[in-house]
């Protein structure tokens, strides 16, 4: 019985460590080795990071002109583009944008009991071009363009280091508040299109990507080398493949976590409150117990 009690906790610890180390599926390079994902500087990273409004505006422009032709954003409503902490577009401009959105809303029934299509309103979701998954697959040769609302939470990077290196790195990520693995992966994917290396068997209709698992992806390169979206002079950045990719990644990170700015500000307020409360309680204790003889 004593031996069992000693070994069982060890097994539990090893099981947890094994689960932590093996979680995730790394992209593999052509030679079979794991692809290396760079960590990028994101304005919203860490415990005090915040979204950059200008970057979110540029990112939405990239989504609208590049991604919206295939991908929906159904967890985001047009009114969210107006709200604080996001792109903060002018409300009238977003109303006009919704009215001109190419993907109409199926509504109804009307007085005759029939369904009908109408222009989107502020309260409507940002829908994609397809009515259902079957229609999307039939048009995209069997591939299904996923909804991008939570794409930076649904994807992440994987550390291939040995466990004795991985565990300290994991602890560092916890202490620094690293939660941008999905953003780093998405940026790498968008900029990872290359010519297939010699000897690589690329299936018909597929594209080589250095960071996609298996290196074969049905989606053609969405942003060309020169940058697909031209920014205005006052946009705060110049157009390029890397800049377009970084901006749309930041926008999709906001789409997955639109309350990040407010939550982090509230967190610092709560921490300040707790520190002040702790000091007050400490000095109150000192004052009260100073009158008691020990």
pLDDT at 6: 34
Q: Which DSSP category does 37 fall into?
A: P
Please check whether residue 122 is in contact with residue 77, taking contact to mean a CB–CB distance below 8 angstroms.
yes
Q: What is the rounded CA–CA span in Å between residue 141 and residue 60?
A: 27
Cβ within 8 Å of residue 169, ≥6 positions away: 159, 161
Q: What is the rounded CA–CA span in Å between residue 196 and residue 217?
A: 12
Helical ranges in the chain per DSSP H: 2-22, 53-62, 91-100, 133-139, 151-154, 163-176, 181-190, 241-256, 260-289
Tokens 């954003």 — which residue? 73
Of the candidates 184, 213, 222, 216, the residue with the CA atom closest to the CA atom of residue 197:
216
Q: What is the rounded CA–CA span in Å between residue 290 and residue 54?
A: 56
Q: Is the peptide bond before 252 cis (omega within 30 degrees of 0)?
A: no
pLDDT at 28: 45
Q: How many residues does the chain have?
A: 294
Q: How far is CA 2 from CA 12, 13, 141, 175, 263, in A?
A: 16, 18, 61, 36, 48
Say what the pTM is.
0.82
- Maximum distance among all alpha carbons in the chain? 87
Q: Is the peptide bond before 109 cis (omega within 30 degrees of 0)?
A: yes
Q: What string of pLDDT tens digits covers the 294 residues of the chain? A: 333 333 344 333 333 333 333 333 444 444 445 678 888 999 999 888 999 999 999 999 999 999 999 999 999 999 999 999 999 999 999 999 999 998 888 888 888 889 888 999 999 999 999 988 999 999 998 889 999 999 999 998 877 777 778 788 888 888 888 889 999 999 999 999 999 999 999 999 899 999 999 999 999 999 998 888 999 888 999 999 999 999 999 999 999 999 999 999 999 999 999 999 999 999 999 888 888 776
pLDDT at 158: 75
Q: What is the rounded CA–CA span in Å between residue 82 and residue 93?
A: 9
């Amino acid at each position: 019985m004593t031996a069992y009690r000693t070994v069982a906790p060890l097994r539990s610890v090893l099981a947890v460590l094994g689960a932590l180390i093996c979680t995730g599926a790394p992209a593999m390079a052509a030679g079979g080795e794991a692809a290396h994902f760079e960590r990028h500087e994101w304005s919203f990273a860490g415990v005090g990071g915040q979204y950059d409004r200008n970057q979110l505006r540029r990112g939405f422009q990239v989504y609208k002109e590049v991604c919206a032709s295939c991908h929906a954003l159904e967890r985001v409503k047009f009114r969210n583009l107006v709200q604080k902490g996001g792109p903060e577009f002018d409300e009238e401009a977003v109303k006009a944008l919704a009215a001109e959105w190419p993907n109409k809303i199926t509504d109804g029934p009307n007085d005759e009991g029939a369904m009908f299509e109408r222009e989107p309103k502020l309260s409507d979701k940002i829908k994609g071009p397809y009515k259902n998954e079957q229609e999307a697959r039939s048009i995209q040769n069997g591939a299904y363009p996923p909804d991008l609302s939570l794409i930076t939470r649904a994807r992440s990077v994987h550390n291939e280091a040995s466990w004795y290196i991985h565990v300290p790195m994991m602890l560092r990520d916890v202490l620094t508040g690293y939660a941008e693995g999905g953003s780093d992966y998405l940026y790498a994917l968008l900029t990872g299109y290359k010519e297939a290396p010699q000897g690589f068997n690329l299936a018909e209709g597929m594209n080589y990507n250095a960071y996609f698992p298996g290196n074969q992806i049905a989606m053609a390169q969405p942003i060309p080398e020169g940058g697909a979206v031209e920014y205005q002079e006052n946009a705060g950045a110049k157009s390029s493949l890397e800049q377009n990719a970084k901006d749309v990644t930041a926008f999709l990170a906001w789409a997955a976590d639109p309350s990040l700015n407010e939550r982090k500000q509230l967190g610092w307020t709560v921490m300040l409150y707790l520190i002040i409360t702790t000091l007050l309680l400490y000095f109150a204790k000192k004052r009260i117990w100073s009158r008691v003889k020990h």
